[in-house]
Amino acid sequence: MQNNKIYDITIVGGGIIGAATAYKIQIKYPNLHILLIEKEKHLSTHQTGNNSGVIHSGLYYKPGSYKAKNCVDGRKQLVAFAKEYNIQHDVCGKVVAAVNENELPFMDKIFQNGLANNTEGIEIIDAKKVKEIEPFVQSIGGIWVPCTGIIDYKVTTQKLAELVLVQQPESKIVLGEEVLKYIHGEEITEVITSKNKYFTKYMIFCGGLQADRLAKKDGVNLKEKVVGFRGDYYSLSEEAKHKVNNLIYPVPNPAFPFLGVHFTRMVNGDVECGPNAVFTFKREGYCKTDFNLKDTIDALSYKGTWKLLLNNTSFAYNEYRRAFSKKLFLKTLQRLIPSLTINDIKKGGAGVRAMLLSENGDTKDDFRIEYKGKSIHVLNAPSPAATACLAIGDAICDMAKKHFNL
């Protein structure tokens, strides 16, 4: 079926970044007709719908970076949005707990980051205070972060998309169609999906795990590749949930971009423990044995993947062992809560994190959004992108205003 309507902007990708971008542009330019296309049958099927639902504070990110700026601004916007539209959330706070002396210098570094990033209310606390907040945690001290919270990002994404249509009924959300091709004409771009053909003036790509492929189809000269890392979770049994009040994080290892295995009370009352971080053989694979030949060849033919794995062989090996061993996973959890037993944890879900990996294996890339021709591409938006979604939407809106003659 061909629809001859010409949309002003077509957004590819129905995760929280795509939905927030559509919302921000539609609110600012209510007369524009926006088309959002998502290949799955539901919005927020991949990264957005499989994360732990944390509203991040801005503690970890390099001062001055896009992550730092957008996380703090985005967090405040997100909480205000949740309050306005009655989205279940709780600004409950978290503890970052140190368990040995070696962690103290880096704990101090992230505390200084937090101060520089205007992360409000943070304070260094002693072991006694940690116990008052989280009685089952064994530590030598930590950081209290009162502005961290929890939220349902799936519900948030759905609400953002709904508000686009409330603001402009002529805009459209399309589900279950994969964008296969886009042909740029002098004024109009033809967008070909697995089911239909659409016409648009401009495009914004928020493809997450497929961001690099969508960019290369559009002629973007991108040296990096997206490499997926799966994170497996356990959850606490009903009998063990009382051991976690809110959120408990370790002091992260400064050599790696992941925040370590942590405890998160979800908005539904469940408590997640995790994730680990293992290379995945399928970008959108959430089971340990999932495999996709194209994804595997893509990742293993890229020198950046090998540099990352070879530079971190011990870390990668231990993460894989832990992925297949409940006992080893428990041992990691017991660093923070020694009283946990094997019966206290049960298998949970999993998520895959998209990382735009450089050729030298560097994983510490900032948020990255680029403009080319008639398109804007969100090339890299790892955590804390969900927290920062509304601030990222503002940045894309500003870019669209400049380049799309809005």
393 and 347, same structural domain? no
Tokens standing for residue 97: 């707990």
Residue 20 sits in a domain of what CATH number?
3.50.50.60
Which run of H or of E encompasses 127? helix 127-133
306 and 191, same structural domain? no
Q: Is 92 within the bounds of a domain?
A: no
Tokens standing for residue 150: 């929890």
Closest CA to 144 of 165, 127, 160, 130: 130
Closest CA to 317 of 261, 360, 278, 354: 278
For a pLDDT cut of 70, what percent of the chain falls above it?
Answer: 98
Q: Is 77 exposed, middle or buried (0-12, 13-18, 19+ CB in 10 A)?
A: buried
* 2 has a pLDDT exceeding 60: no
What is the residue range of 21's domain?
2-48+154-224+366-403
234 and 257, same structural domain? yes
Interval 353-405: pLDDT, tens: 999 999 998 877 799 999 999 999 999 999 999 999 999 999 999 999 999 98
3-class DSSP assignment, residue 394? helix
Q: Is 327 within the bounds of a domain?
A: yes
Q: Is 159 within the bounds of a domain?
A: yes
Closest CA to 74 of 398, 397, 400, 391: 391
The region that residue 108 occupies, defined by phi over 0 for left and psi between -120 and 50 for alpha, beta otherwise, is: alpha
Question: Which residues does 27 contact at the CB level (< 8 Å), separation at least 6?
Answer: 163, 167
20 and 159, same structural domain? yes
Tokens standing for residue 43: 């919005």
Fill in the amino acid letter for 313: T
161 and 32, same structural domain? yes
Instruction: Compute the radius of gyration of the chain from its Cα atoms.
Output: 21
User: Torsions phi, psi of 382, nearest 5?
Assistant: -80, -175
Q: What is the spatial distance between Cα 61 and Cα 237, in angstroms, rounded to a whole number?
A: 33
User: What is the count of structural domains for the chain?
Assistant: 2
Rounded-to-10 torsion of CA 208, 209, 211, 213: -160
231 and 181, same structural domain? no
Q: How much is the pTM?
A: 0.95
Q: Is 343 within the bounds of a domain?
A: yes
Residue 342 sits in a domain of what CATH number?
3.30.9.10
Q: How far apart are the first and last CA of the chain?
A: 29
328 and 243, same structural domain? yes
- Mean pLDDT, residues 256-283: 89
Q: What is the spatial distance between Cα 72 and Cα 64, in angstroms, rounded to a whole number?
A: 11
248 and 350, same structural domain? yes
Question: Do 125 and 97 form a contact (C-beta atoms < 8 A)?
Answer: no
Tell me the residue length of the chain: 406
Q: Is 332 within the bounds of a domain?
A: yes
Closest CA to 189 of 27, 376, 395: 376
* 257 has a pLDDT exceeding 60: no
Q: Which contacts of 362-366 are long-range, i.e. CB under 8 A and separated by 24 or more positions?
A: 362/304, 363/256, 363/257, 363/308, 364/257, 365/224, 366/62, 366/65, 366/66, 366/67
Interval 123-150: pLDDT, tens: 999 999 999 999 999 999 999 999 999 9
- Mean pLDDT, residues 293-310: 93
346 and 204, same structural domain? no
pLDDT at 199 (0 to 100): 97
233 and 331, same structural domain? yes
Neighbours of 43 (CB within 10 A): 22
Residue whose pair of structure tokens reads 């399309």 in the numeric block: 174
pLDDT at 313 (0 to 100): 85
Q: What is the spatial distance between Cα 129 and Cα 317, in angstroms, rounded to a whole number?
A: 36
Question: Do 44 and 21 form a contact (C-beta atoms < 8 A)?
Answer: no
pLDDT at 256 (0 to 100): 67
User: Torsions phi, psi of 392, nearest 5?
Assistant: -65, -40
Q: Is 114 within the bounds of a domain?
A: no
Residue whose pair of structure tokens reads 């921000």 in the numeric block: 24
43 and 174, same structural domain? yes
Q: Is 124 within the bounds of a domain?
A: no
Interval 302-354: pLDDT, tens: 999 999 888 888 878 888 888 889 999 999 999 999 999 999 999 999 999 99
Strands 271-274 and 225-236: antiparallel
248 and 211, same structural domain? no
Closest CA to 262 of 15, 117, 56: 56
Question: Which residues does 288 contact at the CB level (< 8 Å), separation at least 6?
Answer: 230, 232, 323, 324
Q: Is 113 within the bounds of a domain?
A: no
Mean pLDDT of the chain: 94
* 1 has a pLDDT exceeding 80: no
